[in-house]
A and B are shown apart, each in its own frame.
Chain A
Amino acid sequence: MKTKIKPSTFPLGGIHPRSLGFNTMDNEIKNADLPHFVSIPLSQHIGVPANAVVKPGDIVKTGDVIGESSGFVSVNIHSSVPGKVLEIKKGYSAIGSMTEMVVIEFEGELNMSRTGKSPVKWKDMSCEDIIKKIKDMGIVGLGGATFPTHIKYSVPSDKKITELVINAVECEPYLSADYRVMLEKIDDMLIGIEIAKKLLNVKNVYIGIEDDKPEAIQKISEAVSNIEGIEVVDLQHKYPQGGEKQLIKAILGREVPSGGLPLDVGVVVSNIGTIVAVKEAVVDGKPLTERVVTVTGSIVKNPGNYKIKIGTMIKDVLAEVGLIEDPGKIVMGGPMMGLAQYNDEMPVTKGTSGILVLSKKQAKAYHHAPCVRCGKCISVCPMGLDPTLLCTSIELDRAEKAIEQGQNDCIECGCCSYTCPSQKHLAQTIKLGKLRQIARRKGEA
């Protein structure tokens, strides 16, 4: 392995978001307190929700299937604690959509139903069996997109994958969950990579790490130094390097075509957390019932990286970490793309990479002024779009024009809004344009 002399990065746009003065990079992963109740949504992934297979009154153990995948683009949902099913209710999940949730009251001992078993010899398993295992264990992309991993690793026969890229770039500023995982779980990561290599039938693996994490670069470089085909790529720190298209461009110099997928350029990108989850699922038989979440913000007393049971309420998490004052805004995810929550009764799901708590002072509604044509939004857009032009088209309801101008190429990274001196709601307007387009399509159908 070798690291490049001058770290590469994606060429177009990008920003260095300002620091708000808190940092959790050095906080080791800690197990969060066990919740008294969990509320587990049956739709935590892109695709079809799982079907509930428990009913109120049922007793479940940790890791028991409570929602069965219903179709190919769907995965199983497991109980994250032992206890009694109280009810199955409808509620809003953190992404704002209505979904069924299984509410379980914690009872008994936290005892992984599989502990004590010896690790599975995955090398003897067939690819089909491994894929099935990944699906059964409910593994989805942990970077935030929650795309079912078994689908990502089942490459259509007409596509040839030549590279596997491991996304070890923190997707969002202020978050450090991926960083801690890569420091603390190197061995698991290496096994996970081997499994993915087998499934995808690839030889070359690139692990992209940004140069603001020299410790990780050094440790992982050492760990892979005598493994054939794995290379650590040192990347220049810049947001949104964690975007798949940006990462592929930065590491391999290839551009995923507009409207296309990484598959189209022979690449599969996996988040580092996902890779570790794949290992745990396949080798240890561990379903995805917990994940590392960065809980942070300047009014958080004990910010850090916590391993949290899926279904734990935000309010329980916040009670544990402690808040200095009443929050002004609670964001699931990071500051650039996360979702503001309307209350703290939201469960942590498989897609929750961070919980960001902003103070009343930091949570401002921005009054926007007219565009002053500074061009900053254009120069920071990683997709080469003209956000102000797009925004005007959408505001004037010129849908066709907006699509021509690349509305659907926008990755919603938020760089344009972040940087606009007039504080125009650029990314927000473009998202609105996309929603309108979906609504129109539904209307036509």
Chain B
Amino acid sequence: MAQDNSLLISSSPHIRTKDKLPVVMWSVVIALIPAGVWSYFVFGISAIITIGVSVGAAVLTELIINLLIGKRITVINGSAFLTGLLIAYNLPASAGGHLPIYIPIAASVFAIAVIKLAFGGLGQNWMNPALGGRIFVFFAWTRLMTSGWAAPMSPDVVSSATPLAALKFNAGTLPTHLDLFLGKTSGCIGEVSAAALILGGVFLIIRKIVNWEIPVFYILTTAILAWIFGGLNASTPALFTGDPLYHILSGGLMLGAIFMATDWVTSPMLFKGRVLFAVGCGIITVLIRLTGRNVEGVSFAIVLMNIAVPLIDRLFRLGIFGTPGKEKKA
């Protein structure tokens, strides 16, 4: 037996974890399914079309570029699929049919080709590709991206405003907290149901695929700041009168905090750094929501903090065992 070259020789360790990259990516996709299913019930088939187009565009873009530059085909690792899915979830559900399909396509192509692959592929991108894609189309087609929101459960009716806009500009009627939690509101495709997103998030945290610290600190920071300063926009401004629950249940915070701020590539590698990152995201989100012209702060907050990640990683390093007081040099 075994006299031939049939024995594999390799350096130790000889066992590896089962949580390989594709497993991780597809798990995140699975965790996002409840929110997608929910979007169908709230916004109808148009939501599903947008999701399909944007996922398809992302996967195709990656495949074509892989083939063009003759690199290893990376689409099966699920990361392009996930990017496309997240882009769709961040696009508005418009009334009376879906968004013009060039919007999801543009967002996906930009995310994959420019933000991810042009910087060297997965792992090298400094900005979350899905957010980059979203912000790109947001600036390119601002009007389409910010108006004509479909009213929940009757997708052909134009709702006057998303919950955050309603809160900020005192326009329209505010949905109840329960509606927000369950997702019976206007908004982006994947962001409306906090319940569905939390469900996915808990699954990922238990599977140790995303860390708990970023979502928890991000949401907490937002809640506290919204409570302290949220009341300043009201007709009788006062501190400590904001509605924290309203802020954390609306405007894509759950989607951002659980699924996008936690992206491995674009968030800090260690606990302390992650806490700082998450708190930073929270502060910027509230700042934009309360003072900016724009009502949604999550995407910009995360992208701004993405930029700071290399600095944050330098700030917090573990000391090498057996070298007390001596910090490791980067």
Residue contact B322 to A338, C-beta cutoff 8 Å:
no
Alpha-carbon gap, A151 to B104, bound state (A): 70
List residues of chain A with CB within 8 A of the CB of B265: 372-373
Contact with B along A240-261 (1 / 0, CB 8 A): 0000010001000001111110
Instruction: Kindly identify, within residues 394 to 445 of chain A, every residue whose CB is under 8 Å from any CB belonging to chain B.
Output: 404-406, 409, 412, 414, 417-423, 425, 427-428, 431
Alpha-carbon gap, A372 to B74, bound state (A): 13
Q: Is A97 an interface residue (CB 8 A)?
A: no
Q: Is A226 an interface residue (CB 8 A)?
A: no
Contact with A along B262-275 (1 / 0, CB 8 A): 00111111110000
Q: Is B292 an interface residue (CB 8 A)?
A: no
Q: Is B13 an interface residue (CB 8 A)?
A: yes
Q: Is A340 an interface residue (CB 8 A)?
A: yes
Residue contact A342 to B7, C-beta cutoff 8 Å:
yes
Residue contact A405 to B12, C-beta cutoff 8 Å:
no
Q: How many pairs, one residue from A and one from B, have CB atoms within 8 Å of each other in the complex?
A: 175
Residues of A within 8 A of B (CB): 12, 17-18, 20, 173, 245, 249, 255-260, 315, 323, 326-331, 333, 335-344, 356, 358, 360, 363-366, 369-375, 378-379, 382-386, 389, 404-406, 409, 412, 414, 417-423, 425, 427-428, 431
List residues of chain B with CB within 8 A of the CB of A369: 21, 74, 77, 122-123
Which stretch in B32-40, B53-61, B312-320 binds the other chain?
B312-320
Contacts A386-B328, A421-B20 given; indicate if A427 touches B320 (C-beta within 8 A).
Answer: no
Contacts A340-B9, A372-B21, A404-B329 given; indicate if A257 touches B322 (C-beta within 8 A).
Answer: yes
List residues of chain B with CB within 8 A of the CB of A20: 15
**Chain A at the B interface: mostly helix, strand, loop or mixed?**
loop
Q: Is B323 an interface residue (CB 8 A)?
A: yes
List residues of chain A with CB within 8 A of the CB of B6: 326, 328, 360
Residue contact A385 to B320, C-beta cutoff 8 Å:
yes
Residue contact A417 to B8, C-beta cutoff 8 Å:
no
Alpha-carbon gap, A377 to B266, bound state (A): 16
Contacts A258-B321, A383-B321 given; indicate if A428 touches B11 (C-beta within 8 A).
Answer: yes
7 cross-chain CB contacts under 8 A: A12-B318, A173-B15, A340-B11, A374-B264, A375-B269, A379-B270, A419-B17
Residue contact A405 to B328, C-beta cutoff 8 Å:
yes
Alpha-carbon gap, A398 to B194, bound state (A): 48
List residues of chain B with CB within 8 A of the CB of A425: 11
Q: Is B324 an interface residue (CB 8 A)?
A: yes
Q: Is B143 an interface residue (CB 8 A)?
A: no
Alpha-carbon gap, A1 to B14, bound state (A): 38
Residue contact A255 to B269, C-beta cutoff 8 Å:
no
Q: Is B293 an interface residue (CB 8 A)?
A: no
Contacts A366-B16, A374-B264, A421-B20 given; indicate if A344 touches B1 (C-beta within 8 A).
Answer: yes
Alpha-carbon gap, A385 to B321, bound state (A): 8
**Chain B at the A interface: mostly helix, strand, loop or mixed?**
loop
Alpha-carbon gap, A358 to B10, bound state (A): 12
List residues of chain B with CB within 8 A of the CB of A337: 12-13
Alpha-carbon gap, A374 to B1, bound state (A): 42
In the complex, which residue of chain B has the Cβ closest to the Cβ of A344?
A: B2
List residues of chain B with CB within 8 A of the CB of A417: 13, 16
Residue contact B7 to A335, C-beta cutoff 8 Å:
no
List residues of chain A with CB within 8 A of the CB of B17: 18, 418-421
Q: How far is the CB of B196 from chain A (nearest CB, A)?
A: 25
Residue contact B12 to A384, C-beta cutoff 8 Å:
no
List residues of chain B with CB within 8 A of the CB of A366: 16
Q: How far is the CB of B265 from chain A (nearest CB, A)?
A: 5
Alpha-carbon gap, A414 to B11, bound state (A): 10
Contact with A along B92-121 (1 / 0, CB 8 A): 000000000000000000000000000011
Contacts A374-B269, A375-B264 given; indicate if A17 touches B15 (C-beta within 8 A).
Answer: yes
Name the one of B11, B21, B270, B322 contacting A375, with C-beta atoms under 8 angstroms: B270
Q: Which 5 A-B pairs give the minimum distances between C-beta atoms?
A: A375-B269, A414-B13, A258-B322, A370-B123, A374-B264
Residue contact B320 to A384, C-beta cutoff 8 Å:
yes
Interface size for B (C-beta < 8 A) is 47
Instruction: Kindly identify, within residues 40 to 86 of chain B, every residue whose CB is under 8 Å from any CB belonging to chain A.
Output: 74, 77
Contact with A along B133-163 (1 / 0, CB 8 A): 0000000000000000000000000000000
Given contacts A256-B322, A340-B14, A406-B320, 11 further A-B contacts (CB under 8 A): A12-B318, A326-B1, A331-B12, A335-B12, A336-B15, A370-B120, A371-B123, A372-B122, A383-B320, A384-B318, A412-B12
List residues of chain B with CB within 8 A of the CB of A373: 123, 264-267, 269
Q: How far is the CB of B11 from chain A (nearest CB, A)?
A: 4
List residues of chain A with CB within 8 A of the CB of B206: none
Residue contact B322 to A245, C-beta cutoff 8 Å:
yes
Residues of B within 8 A of A (CB): 1-3, 6-21, 23-24, 74, 77, 120-124, 264-271, 317-324, 328-330
Alpha-carbon gap, A366 to B15, bound state (A): 10
Residue contact A389 to B330, C-beta cutoff 8 Å:
yes
In the complex, which residue of chain A has the Cβ closest to the Cβ of B329?
A: A404
Alpha-carbon gap, A239 to B2, bound state (A): 31
Residue contact B7 to A421, C-beta cutoff 8 Å:
no
Alpha-carbon gap, A249 to B324, bound state (A): 13
Residue contact A427 to B12, C-beta cutoff 8 Å:
yes
Q: How far is the CB of A236 from chain B (nearest CB, A)?
A: 18
Name the one of B16, B20, B124 contacting A370, with C-beta atoms under 8 angstroms: B124
Alpha-carbon gap, A414 to B17, bound state (A): 12
Residue contact A423 to B16, C-beta cutoff 8 Å:
yes
Residue contact B12 to A336, C-beta cutoff 8 Å:
yes
Contacts A330-B7, A378-B270, A414-B13 given; indicate if A409 touches B321 (C-beta within 8 A).
Answer: yes
Q: How far is the CB of A163 from chain B (nearest CB, A)?
A: 17
In the complex, which residue of chain A has the Cβ closest to the Cβ of B123?
A: A370
In the complex, which residue of chain B has the Cβ closest to the Cβ of A371?
A: B123
Alpha-carbon gap, A365 to B10, bound state (A): 8
Residue contact B2 to A409, C-beta cutoff 8 Å:
no
Alpha-carbon gap, A370 to B318, bound state (A): 23
In the complex, which residue of chain A has the Cβ closest to the Cβ of B21?
A: A421
Residue contact A423 to B13, C-beta cutoff 8 Å:
no
In the complex, which residue of chain A has the Cβ closest to the Cβ of B23?
A: A421
Alpha-carbon gap, A327 to B2, bound state (A): 7
Most buried by A among B9, B321, B323: B321
Name the one of B14, B16, B124, B318 contacting A331, with C-beta atoms under 8 angstroms: B14
Alpha-carbon gap, A329 to B271, bound state (A): 38
Alpha-carbon gap, A338 to B317, bound state (A): 30
Residue contact A386 to B317, C-beta cutoff 8 Å:
yes
Q: How far is the CB of B19 from chain A (nearest CB, A)?
A: 6
